[in-house]
Structure 1
Amino acid sequence: MSEQSAHSVPQLFYIFALISMFYMAYNLRRLFTVQVGKPDNRSLNLLSQLYNSLSFGIGQKKVYSKRFTYASIMHFLIGWGFIELTFATTVDFFAAQGIFKEYLPGFDTPWFAWLNDTGGMMLIVGCMMALFRRHYIKPDILPQNNLSGRGTFLGDSGILFFLVFLSIGGFFTEAARLAVEQPPTAHWSWVGYLLSKLTTQANWVALKPYMWWGHAITSLIFISLIPMTKMFHVIAVVANVALTNRKKRGLLKSMNISEIMENPNADVENISLGASNVKDFSWKQLLDSVSCTECARCSSVCPATRTDKPLSPMKIITDIRTKLYSETMDYKKTDDLVGGLITETELWSCTTCGACMQECPVLIEHVPTIIDMRRHLVLSEGKPPVQANESLEKTMLNGNPWGFPKEDRLKWTESTDFKPPTLQEKNEVDILYWVGCAGAYDPRNQSVATNMLKILESADVDYAVLGKEETCTGDSARRLGEEYLFETLAKQNVETLNKYKFNKIVASCPHCMNTILNEYPDFGGEYKVVHHTELIEELISTGQLQTNYKTDKKITFHDPCYLGRHNKIFDQPRNILENVAEIENIIEMKESRESSMCCGAGGGNMWHEIDQGSRVNVERFEQAVETGADTVATGCSFCTIMMDDAMKVTGKEETMQVKDIAEIVGESIDHSV
């Protein structure tokens, strides 16, 4: 590095800087309001925390998205421009003190000078893009307050103007220094150098001290106000992503409610279950709310929001923050959280599809937070949705939300060519086929189960079913907030499964798969669980299953939320389709894979309907229609029902069909024989 002399900084500046830092530290109390929350017992790993901080925090990994191209470029310029200027300011501070001067670049070291000016211009251009977006091409869903509002000083536009003013002031301060000192490498500071030519050296000599002090004071004011402005997310986001366990992200926590209810010392009449106020959430959930940047990406992809339901995931999170600040920082008093700031209809509109969490750049976990409030409504207030309550009662009495007798679990096999063996008969098998409630009782999904038997038999798989011993996994009950019913079903199923020996469970319904795979371990149920598309792909790739016929139908695949976003199974269904259809006839919808739109049935919405806005399944089916496909393929019991219903509603029964992957493969087997 080039040698440099220490630049003199007035002692008065350090006094002002100390005052600025103290005021910033005082305002950082916002960050520590989350301490009122309950403990969060998820384990953290130091290396993972460091990776999260660097990649998702400083590196802004999830900010960059093709879906939000303009905003991604804008934030890249603002973020990295700000980071570069922070780096430059830190280097300048050490240089001014003569610390590490033999290792640090000088003010006029060519690469450092160029980098500083480039960073400043990036910040200015990014801020101007943001202002243009907010005032001329603003998405309707993006909140906007010009100079104040929503608990932030300077509002949305004011802070952007402040950053532009600060950056321009920095360039003029640099121009004055370059004009006075005239270093030989001045031209590397390409912006400041051009500005230095605007007037004479004598004028710059006179202006230099005013420029320096003006920029210094403005910078210190900015630092002191950071926690009060939208720039607070620079601090809160890094803390939030660092403390996020990405492996457990989105998973629902067990309440162990049966232990609570069976505790003889528990005050059952007055106990509060679920979350109805800020102290009922964990500190991590509260940190989620504090770190929300209000970018509105979550709401822009939410199927409920997009179909004019009252839910906005962003509003849910920011309402919690509003209530948190109201109770901990003496902000203006607000309504109650659940039933006040957040209505019951908002909570019941959520399909738990996970699109909000998929797009959130700061790793907020919207779905578990919403479920915690649903738990309060159901367990503490006894207020599930009226329509859904019927399915909960049927599940409680008969072990399935359709309400059919348990004894009829295998009745669907009476019309099939195959009679599946039960584990009670065989005791030990390679594959346990989990038929699911839909496969056993819903006429539309019985075809899927029948074709799965055909596939298993054709591939000579050693398998069995549970038959009458199988009961609902409790997926819908849990997501509807009925945790006690879910725990009862989970424990019953785990007790049944642990009686037998099998290598893995194969489920046709991603909801069943997700529950057994990711949630039953909390109840002693550790199993290898795969989706039927994973098994089918394996059987085809190993040659155990022959599919010699390819359909000439044009097919588009609808990614089920609990198969794709929640469990990252995207390729297997598509690989299967390439074996049973011509590749050129497989067409992707405009929203597919991680960006797939929900069918509308998740989160218990299969069993009740929000009578506001348009229907989610119809909007999704219209996307399938746009592809020109003849067949909508899927791999989920609920999706099959919802897409089939949308096909009928839109009058496409004569020209289109909805098929599960297993049905398409089953047809291929029939043609191959």
Structure 2
Amino acid sequence: MDAQALSLTHQIVWWSHLVLAFSFLALFTYSKMAHVLFIPGNYYYRSLKPAGTLEPIDFEDEELETMGVRMLEEYTWKDLLDAQACIKCGRCQENCPAYLSGKELSPMHFIQNIAAQNKTRGEVLLKVPEDARTEEQQALLDEGVVGTVISEDALWRCTTCRACSELCPARVVHPDKDIKARTYQVCMESAFPPEAQQTFRNLETNGNPWGIGWQKRIDWTRDLDVPTIEENPTAEYLYWPGCSGAYDARSRKVATAFVHLMKQAGVDFAILGNAEKCCGDSARRLGNEYLYYMLAQENIETLNNAGVKKIVTQCPHCLQALSVDYPQMGGNFEVLHHSQLLAQLIAEGKLKPGASEYQQVTYHDSCYLGRYHGQYDAPRAVLTQGAQVQLNEMERNESKSFCCGAGGGHMWLEEPAGKKINHMRAEQALETKADALVTACPFCLTMLSDGVAFHDATMPVKDLAEVYYEALEH
């Protein structure tokens, strides 16, 4: 090829490259690759608050007209930025227990629908004057989130386990958007699953989701010699057994074991007794923000009046409410999960190693203790250093743990379609061939016990406090 031909070829290649480069820049924002522009901003503006922090509603505001999200524009700019940053990789739905169990919910489609609706609505809002809009365009703008972005059934399938958000490379937060839509449905439309009605009524009348008389909350302490805060006002720790520990027969055994362990370690503690009310977590995750507000307000007033500084609880859902939600309303306490306190007591030598009857156990990471609070080491320390057992981990463990199916208020809802999430998790535990299945959450304890029973298996399901206490008594 002579010099003239080379020169011509060079010019053709150079100009072709230039045209392609500028065409790419022009078309970039209209392609799937647009997320590359949004992800850095989405990461930079990610919330630095604790996981699961929900924005409170100011019920003292006299100008408050609505609660939650009905229209797409009522989501925050960060919610909408989340949708633009989504890369459609599918990691969220590949780890979503609702999706994997055959429910209608797909977290990826939920976020993508927000982005699509935002674009469609934006074109009308920004380009068409209000007095020039057609009936079809106005009808589009009048459509709410529920029914367009997410179906009414899918709205109630999220267990708020945060597996989607934990594994999202774009840092998209899915559950909070679902809860905001639930809040509008519950507080403004009174539209929610029928089973939730009884739960709300029980919380309103008796301060617990079972509806058992509030005056029976302290009954579990009979023969345990557990002081109330009135009897021991200077106690270092306020023990919060939660509704499960107080009312559920199975969880009462956990509370009893934990009380024995604290006494053996010489922990100075007391309980609120009948003055304790439900923490409100289930009400809030189900969208009943006002009911949560009333329960939280009463509990915070009781705790502050008692001068409580430190709280320990065996329920990760109570842990979330007491340590993350309550500070928004003036309830500032140091809150520990019972696994954290037990691990601390073992490390300090106040509790000795035991000899468990189980050689190998598999541990189920609770979503609210793990992904919400990052507590993976403390529970395992109690089992391996305290109870002296070997861990046989499930494939999905720690931050990749599979939900038990009770979060997001699903402890009180029916699971109408597909496989049962707790049956799936129990099957994963049974595959380990461990001697026992251990968890650190009363909701998980109930769901996994039911799951193991469904498979006609004999694997014991225990809380780590029970395993450790039995190891010391063995």
Which of 234, 259, 269 is the matching residue for 2:60?
A: 259
Q: For 2:258 and 2:52, how far apart are their aligned partners in 1?
A: 30
**Alignment partner of 1:659 is 2:453:** no
How does 1:262-661 map onto structure 2 within 5 Å? 263=62, 271-330=65-124, 336-414=144-222, 417-582=223-388, 585-652=390-457, 654=458, 656-661=459-464
Q: Which amino acid aligns with 2:367?
A: C
What secondary structure, in the 3-state scheme, does the structure 2 residue paired with 1:648 have?
Answer: helix
Classify 1:200/1:399 alpha carbon distance in 2 versus 1 (closer, same or farther; 3 Å). Answer: farther
For the residue of structure 2 that corresponds to 1:514, the secondary structure is helix
Separation of aligned partners in 1, 2:291 and 2:424? 32
- CA drift of 1:619 comes to 0.5
Separation in 2, partners of 1:301, 1:381? 31
Cα distance between partner residues in 2 of 1:302 and 1:225: 33
CA distance in 2, matches of 1:205, 1:475: 73
Shift of 1:440: 0.5
8 A contact 2:311–2:333 mirrored in 1: yes
Structure-2 separation of matches of 1:552 and 1:614? 30
User: Bigger CA drift: 210-219 or 200-209?
Assistant: 200-209
**8 Å contact 1:319–1:337 — kept in the other structure?**
no
In the other structure, the counterpart of 2:130 is none
C-alpha distance in 2 between matches for 1:644 and 1:204: 77
2:132 is aligned to none
CA distance in 1: counterparts of 2:329 and 2:431, whole angstroms? 44
Q: For structure 1, which segment, 333-342 or 231-240, has the greater mean C-alpha deviation from structure 2 after superposition?
A: 333-342
**Does the CA contact (< 8 Å) of 1:550 and 1:580 recur in 2?**
no
| TM-superposition CA deviations, 1:1-42 (whole Å, max 9, x none) | xxxxxxxxxxxxxxxxxxxxxxxxxxxxxxxxxxxxxxxxxx
Give 1:651's aligned amino acid.
D
Say whether the 8 Å CA contact 1:580–1:664 is kept in structure 2. no
Cα 1:209–1:664 change in 2 (3 A) is same
Identity of aligned residues (%): 38
Deviation of the 1:250 alpha carbon:
3.5
Contact preservation (8 Å) 1:551, 1:582:
no
Report SS of the residue matched to 1:246: coil
What are the equivalent positions in structure 2 for 1:6-21 lying under 5 Å apart? none
User: How many angstroms apart in 1 are the aligned matches of 2:456 and 2:274?
Assistant: 38
Match for 1:342: what amino acid? I
Aligned residue type for 2:159: T
Shift of 1:246: 2.9
Q: Is the 8 A contact 2:155 2:182 kept in 1?
A: yes
Residue pair 2:356, 2:468 contacting (<8 A) in 1 also: no
- 3-state SS, counterpart of residue 366 of structure 2: coil
Between the two proteins, the alignment pairs up a number of residues equal to: 460
Distance in 1 (alpha carbons) for counterparts of 2:2 and 2:351? 84
How far off its partner does 1:634 sit? 0.4
| C-alpha displacement of 1:280 | 1.2
Considering fraction of residues, name the structure with more helix: 1
Q: How does 1:94-113 map to 2 (within 5 A)?
A: none
Query: Retained in 2: the 8 A contact 1:551–1:581?
Result: no
In 2: Cα distance, 1:546 partner to 1:247 partner? 36
Structure with larger Rg: 1
Partner of 1:226: 28
- Kindly indicate whether structure 1 or structure 2 has the higher relative contact order, using CA contacts under 8 Å at least 6 residues apart: 2
Quick one: distance in 2 between partners of 1:343 and 1:283?
22
Q: Which amino acid aligns with 1:668?
A: A
Return the offset for 1:581.
Answer: 4.7
**Runs of 4+ that moved beyond 6 A:** 199-202
What's the offset of the Cα at 1:493?
0.4
Alpha-carbon deviation of 1:299?
A: 1.1
Contact kept, 8 Å, 2:326 with 2:332, in 1: the verdict is yes
Cα 1:447/1:200, change in 2 over 3 Å: farther
**Structure 1 residue 220, shift from structure 2 partner:** 0.6
Q: CA deviation at 1:580?
A: 4.2
Measured on the aligned residues, the alpha-carbon RMSD in Å equals 1.7
Query: 1:218-269: per-residue Cα shift (whole Å, max 9, x none)?
Result: 111001111111111111112221222233454111012x324xx3x66xxx
Q: Distance in 1 between matches of 2:365 and 2:180?
A: 26
Normalising by structure 2, we get a TM-score of: 0.94
Residue 65 of structure 1: aligned partner: none
- Tell me the distance in 1 between the aligned counterparts of 2:110 and 2:261: 45
Contact (CA 8 Å) 2:322, 2:335: kept in 1 or not? Answer: yes
Deviation at 1:517, TM superposition (A): 0.2
CA distance in 1, matches of 2:320, 2:338: 12
* Aligned twin of 1:190: none
In structure 2, distance between residues paired with 1:252 and 1:362: 20
Looking at structure 1, the residues matched to 193 and 358 of structure 2 have their Cα atoms a distance apart, in angstroms, of 44
Q: 1:305 to 1:201 in 2, by over 3 A?
A: farther
CA shift, 1:490, in A, is 0.6
Q: Separation in 2 of the partners of 1:662 and 1:651?
A: 25
3-state SS of 2:299 partner: helix
2:6 is equivalent to residue 212 of structure 1: no
1:452 maps to a residue whose letter is: F
* Range with bigger deviation, 333-342 or 601-610: 333-342
What's the CA shift for 1:204? 3.3
| 1:341 Cα deviation from its structure 2 partner | 3.5
- Are the structure 2 counterparts of residues 495 and 502 from structure 1 closer, same or farther at C-alpha, using a change threshold of 3 Å? closer
Gaps of 5+ in 2: 128-135
State the TM-score, normalized to the length of structure 1: 0.66
Seen in structure 2, the aligned counterparts of structure 1 residues 201 and 448 have a Cα distance that, compared at 3 Å, is farther
Relative to structure 1, the CA distance from residue 205 to residue 597 in structure 2 (aligned partners, 3 Å threshold; closer, same or farther) is same
The 5 Å alignment of 1:192-203 reads 203=5
Tell me the secondary structure at the aligned position of residue 411 of structure 2: coil
| Aligned residue in 1 for 2:131 | none
CA–CA distance in structure 1, aligned partners of residues 23 and 89 of structure 2: 25
Structure 1 unaligned residues grouped into runs of 5+: 1-198
